[in-house]
């Protein structure tokens, strides 16, 4: 089964030209899932029948002389908070177990229209709240590189699916790092696009001003390919940016000569594991070797990012998750009155972390505390935006670790929510600013687990970000390269 | 704002959020949420007079579309997913303390 091409670009080219059948590609990936997903638990649902039908349709179009599209015959895994019509969509929560959405998310329509073969729905921290996928109601996903460790989260299933070779590409969502952190911990590429670049229609909302859908892949080029396929204006998302989609694949070969890249000082010291920081410096050296000018830059407000995020995101979540009331969809626990039914349903349907965040957000928004917490957090968000603006006056891109550490072991952080939240310090500021950022694998830590380095760009700076990502990919040390 | 979150605060918030908590959960959440709010004191104690709030990363404006009929989500498909339905409507228990 190793004779088949492994990247989405290669698979799509071979399928479009008739050299390879989409069904053959699919069966190969289904066999890998059969062999190993019992151990990894990347999928909440493997859509084998639907996928076979989709792959057969792609093959029929090729046989008829048609072009199925840029993702022709490429197996693709979908985070289970993306609505798929008639196919269970759970958010890894009991409260939505068995629910079959009456519509497809816009990104699902787009990847299907581009010829991709949706292969399954991937596990996540319940409602995307978490950094380890340990908060799933259906059991944790395991890191394919070491099954004693977490894959990161919340899109842990989508990251693990790509890392394990179950699908060459997948989609996740990123509210405070939920694509980039698991990408780093699993050793794959993960991208959070500019807020508004990808339609959120059909993405089940966690924190609406922060959520953004993005790709996972094993190569930088495959993320460029998938992001081009899902980006663009959508009349069904009022926050969708009405601008042409930038060409990303074209930008990949352009190098970094003359680009100014800043190392963010606040994210290189305390709280960052020394082996991770060393890889980031090594990545900076690789960019310098490509002709980039490397400097250090202070973005002071990122120090307040975590606090602001853990007030804003739960506040938005407490409002968004009010809809799970046992009336319109999902589970209901019967009780004599509607108010009692609402509470009984939510109590039985939500897991511990979701309840914690709903309460935190409800408190932050409640009378007497609004100004002190939520109101202050929104002002800090302004400071973060301003500090990034200052940094981008002098630099084209910023470079940081993606996660302060490599993948941690199961149970290490579950007893102390704050220690779990601290895992997001490097990724959160970009969500608050609405900017794009991506994680690129760059060798291993002292424990041999993957390290991700994070590239940050100003809004709509994806083409420049991908140029640098391609250079880092080419220069990345092997995962097993021994530490000196 | 250094006042520590109390068990009564958490009980009130749980009621507002329509969550029934056991005594053990109340205890645990009071502790855990208190720790997060303590961490957030770095923000709560900042002097931010004159700084405007940012609720959203984009300069949003209302988006309007042409007032033309488009196909919506299928009603029966939506209702098929509801826990309880009557006469093609969502059915709920008593709302005002009366038996339905």
pLDDT in tens, A307-361: 999 999 999 999 999 999 999 999 999 999 999 999 999 999 999 999 999 999 9
pLDDT in tens, A54-72: 999 999 999 999 999 999 9
Q: What is the mean pLDDT of residues B28-37?
A: 93
Closest Cα partner for A146 from A384, A477, A416, A480?
Answer: A480
Are residues A161 and A43 in contact, defined by beta-carbon separation less than 8 angstroms? yes
Give residue for tokens 């009336």. Answer: A327
Q: How far apart are CA A54 and CA A44, in angstroms?
A: 20
- Residue window 30-89, chain B: list those with CB within 8 Å of chain A: 32-33, 35-37, 39-40, 42-44, 46, 48, 51-58, 60, 62-63, 65, 73-74, 77-78, 80-84
- In this predicted structure, the answer to whether residue B2 has a pLDDT above a threshold of 50 is no
Between the CA of residue A251 and those of A220, A242, A248, A344, what are the distances in Å? 11, 21, 5, 53
pTM equals 0.96
Q: What is the mean pLDDT of residues A373-386?
A: 95
Give yes or no for A176 touching B (CB within 8 A).
no
Work out the number of other CB atoms within 10 angstroms of the CB of residue A416: 12
Give yes or no for B17 touching A (CB within 8 A).
yes
- Strand pairing report for A117-122 and A43-46: antiparallel
Question: DSSP character for A445?
Answer: -
Are residues A18 and A62 in contact, defined by beta-carbon separation less than 8 angstroms? yes
| Least CB–CB distance from B44: residue in A99, A376, A421 | A376
Flag if A381 and B63 touch (Cβ within 8 Å). no
High-pLDDT (> 70) share of chain A, %: 99
- In this predicted structure, the answer to whether residue B22 has a pLDDT above a threshold of 90 is yes
Give yes or no for A338 touching B (CB within 8 A).
yes
Flag if B93 and A341 touch (Cβ within 8 Å). yes
Q: What are phi and psi of A367, to 5 degrees?
A: -55, 135
| Least CB–CB distance from A434: residue in B1, B58, B93 | B58
Q: What is the mean pLDDT of residues B54-74?
A: 86
Task: Give the model's confidence band at A483: pLDDT under 50 very low, under 70 low, under 90 confident, else very high.
Answer: low
For residue A440, the number of C-alpha atoms closer than 13 Å in the C-beta half-sphere is 32
For residue B5, give how far its alpha carbon lies from the nearest alpha carbon of chain A (Å).
10
Q: Which residues pair with residue A87 across a beta bridge? A: A84
Which element (helix H / strand E) includes A31?
helix A22-40
| Least CB–CB distance from A379: residue in B17, B53, B90 | B53
pLDDT in tens, A264-311: 999 998 899 999 999 999 999 999 999 999 999 999 999 999 999 999
pLDDT in tens, A151-178: 999 999 999 999 999 999 999 999 999 9
Give yes or no for A363 touching B (CB within 8 A).
yes
Flag if A382 and B53 touch (Cβ within 8 Å). yes
- Provide the token pair at B92: 């709920």
Report the pLDDT value the prediction gives residue A482, as an integer from 0 to 100.
65
Q: How far apart are CA A138 and CA B55, in angstroms?
A: 34
Are residues A470 and A189 in contact, defined by beta-carbon separation less than 8 angstroms? no
Give yes or no for B93 touching A (CB within 8 A).
yes
- In this predicted structure, the answer to whether residue B94 has a pLDDT above a threshold of 90 is no
Q: What is the mean pLDDT of residues A403-422?
A: 92
Report the pLDDT value the prediction gives residue A368, as an integer from 0 to 100.
86
Report the pLDDT value the prediction gives residue B3, as an integer from 0 to 100.
59
Output the average pLDDT for chain B: 88
Q: What is the mean pLDDT of residues B50-54?
A: 94
Output the average pLDDT for chain A: 96
- Provide the token pair at A315: 């506040």
Give yes or no for B90 touching A (CB within 8 A).
yes
Q: What is the mean pLDDT of residues A36-46?
A: 98
Report the pLDDT value the prediction gives residue A444, as an integer from 0 to 100.
97
A331 contacts on B by Cβ (under 8 Å): 83
Are residues A155 and A173 in contact, defined by beta-carbon separation less than 8 angstroms? yes
Catalytic residue positions of A? 79, 154, 178
Q: Residues in chain A, how many?
A: 484
Report the pLDDT value the prediction gives residue B97, as an integer from 0 to 100.
61
| Least CB–CB distance from B82: residue in A328, A355, A372 | A328
Here the ipTM equals 0.92
Give residue for tokens 């220069």. Answer: A475
- In this predicted structure, the answer to whether residue A251 has a pLDDT above a threshold of 90 is yes
Flag if B44 and A334 touch (Cβ within 8 Å). no
- The end-to-end CA distance of chain B, in Å, is 46
Flag if A359 and B33 touch (Cβ within 8 Å). yes
Least confident of A12-16, A19-23, A478-482: A478-482
Give yes or no for A329 touching B (CB within 8 A).
yes
- In this predicted structure, the answer to whether residue A419 has a pLDDT above a threshold of 90 is no
Flag if B48 and A306 touch (Cβ within 8 Å). no
Are residues A181 and A431 in contact, defined by beta-carbon separation less than 8 angstroms? no
Which conformational region is residue A187 in: left (phi greater than 0), alpha (psi within -120 to 50 degrees), or beta? left
Are residues A195 and A89 in contact, defined by beta-carbon separation less than 8 angstroms? no
Closest Cα partner for A219 from A457, A73, A10, A79?
Answer: A10
SS (H, E, C) A396-412: CEEEEECCCCCCCECCC
Task: Give the model's confidence band at A367: pLDDT under 50 very low, under 70 low, under 90 confident, else very high.
Answer: confident
Q: Which residues pair with residue A263 across a beta bridge? A: A296, A399
Are residues B58 and A241 in contact, defined by beta-carbon separation less than 8 angstroms? yes
Flag if B78 and A328 touch (Cβ within 8 Å). yes
């Amino acid at each position: 089964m190793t004779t088949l091409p492994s990247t989405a670009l290669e698979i799509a080219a071979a399928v479009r030209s008739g050299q390879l059948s989409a069904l053959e590609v699919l069966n190969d990936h289904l066999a890998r899932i059969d062999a190993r997903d019992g151990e990894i638990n990347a999928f909440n649902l493997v859509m084998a029948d639907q996928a076979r039908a989709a792959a057969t349709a792609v093959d029929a179009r090729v046989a008829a002389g048609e072009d199925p599209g840029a993702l022709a015959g490429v197996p693709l895994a979908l985070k289970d908070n993306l609505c798929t019509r008639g196919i269970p969509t759970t958010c890894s929560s009991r409260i939505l177990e068995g629910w079959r959405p009456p519509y497809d998310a816009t990104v699902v329509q787009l990847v299907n229209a581009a010829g991709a073969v949706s292969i399954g729905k991937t596990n996540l921290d319940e409602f995307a709240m978490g950094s380890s996928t340990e908060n799933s109601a259906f059991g944790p996903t395991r890191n394919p590189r070491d099954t004693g460790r977490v894959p990161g989260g919340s899109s842990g299933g989508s990251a693990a699916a790509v890392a394990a070779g179950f699908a060459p590409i997948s989609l996740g969502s990123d509210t405070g790092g939920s694509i980039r952190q698991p990408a780093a911990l699993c050793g794959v590429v993960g991208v959070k696009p500019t807020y508004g670049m990808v339609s959120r229609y059909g993405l089940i909302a966690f924190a609406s001003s922060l959520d953004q859908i993005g790709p996972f892949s094993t190569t930088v080029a495959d993320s460029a390919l998938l992001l081009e396929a899902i980006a663009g204006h959508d009349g069904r998302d009022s926050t969708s940016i009405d601008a042409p989609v930038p060409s990303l694949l074209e930008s990949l070969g352009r190098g970094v000569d003359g680009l100014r890249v800043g190392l963010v000082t606040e994210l290189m010291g305390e709280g960052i594991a020394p082996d991770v920081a060393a890889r980031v410096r090594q990545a900076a050296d690789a960019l310098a070797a490509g002709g980039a000018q490397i400097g250090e830059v202070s973005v002071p407000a990122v120090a307040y990012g975590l606090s602001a995020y853990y007030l804003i995101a739960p506040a938005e979540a407490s409002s968004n998750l009010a809809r799970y009331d046992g009336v319109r969809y999902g589970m209901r626990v019967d009780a004599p009155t509607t108010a009692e039914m609402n509470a009984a349903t939510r109590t039985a349907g939500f897991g511990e972390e979701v309840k914690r965040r709903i309460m935190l957000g409800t408190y932050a928004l409640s009378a007497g505390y609004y100004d002190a917490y939520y109101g202050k957090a929104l002002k800090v968000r302004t400071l973060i935006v301003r500090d990034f603006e200052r940094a981008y006056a002098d630099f084209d891109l910023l470079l940081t670790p993606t996660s302060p550490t490599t993948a941690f072991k199961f149970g290490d952080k579950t007893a102390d929510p704050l220690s779990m939240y601290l895992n997001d310090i490097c990724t959160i500021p970009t969500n608050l600013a609405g900017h794009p950022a991506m994680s690129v694998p760059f060798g291993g830590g002292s424990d041999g687990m993957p390290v991700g380095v994070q590239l940050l760009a100003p809004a709509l700076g994806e083409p420049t970000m991908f140029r640098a990502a391609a250079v880092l990919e080419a220069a990345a040390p092997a995962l097993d390269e021994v530490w000196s | 704002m250094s006042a520590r979150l109390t068990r009564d605060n958490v009980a009130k918030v749980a009621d507002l959020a329509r969550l029934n908590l056991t005594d053990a959960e109340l205890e645990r959440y009071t502790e855990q949420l208190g720790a997060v709010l303590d961490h957030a004191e770095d923000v709560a104690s900042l002097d931010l007079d004159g700084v405007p709030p940012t609720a959203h990363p984009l300069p949003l404006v209302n988006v309007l579309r042409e007032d033309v009929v488009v196909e919506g989500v299928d009603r029966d498909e939506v209702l098929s997913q509801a826990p309880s339905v009557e006469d093609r409507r969502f059915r709920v228990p008593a709302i005002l303390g009366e038996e339905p």
